[in-house]
Structure 1
Amino acid sequence: MMSGRAQSRPGLKQKTSMQFYYVYILMCSDGLTYTGITNDITRSFDEHQKGVRNTVGLLDQYWCFNPSEASTKND
């Protein structure tokens, strides 16, 4: 009898949820903006707030399917 759980088979990859990448623009406390690329916008924002330039807010963000697409929007 099979259980309701998915069975793992050798050689088959498990289906994973799609991961997005983000280009984000932050306003820093010194009045400058910072643009970056991440796959975890919350983590990146928190890291910037703890960094040398205190982040005041998130000005904008764009989602992309992969890092290459994100880097073209970063220009």
Structure 2
Amino acid sequence: MLTWSLPLLILVLLAVVLWFWAILDVSRSNFKNQKNKLLFFFLILVAPILGSIVYFQMKKSFISKEKRSFKPNFNTRS
């Protein structure tokens, strides 16, 4: 049993890192539709490894390619 401990520990750590990376990426990404963002977030929470792999494979088709711009209206005249 001791011979399997290190490889198993490495696989578990990789799965946890992939899960956290997917959650952070979903929360930071600019989706075309907010429903898709919630769907992917839910999928990653329910099935962490499979959901993360599916998200990273499909994310390009759901993410908006436009760059976000910050254009506040600083009109101080009242």
Alignment TM-score, normalising by the size of structure 2: 0.32
Higher-strand-fraction structure:
1
Relative CO higher for 1 or 2, CA cutoff 8 Å, sep ≥ 6?
Answer: 1
Higher-helix-fraction structure:
2
Alignment TM-score, normalising by the size of structure 1: 0.33
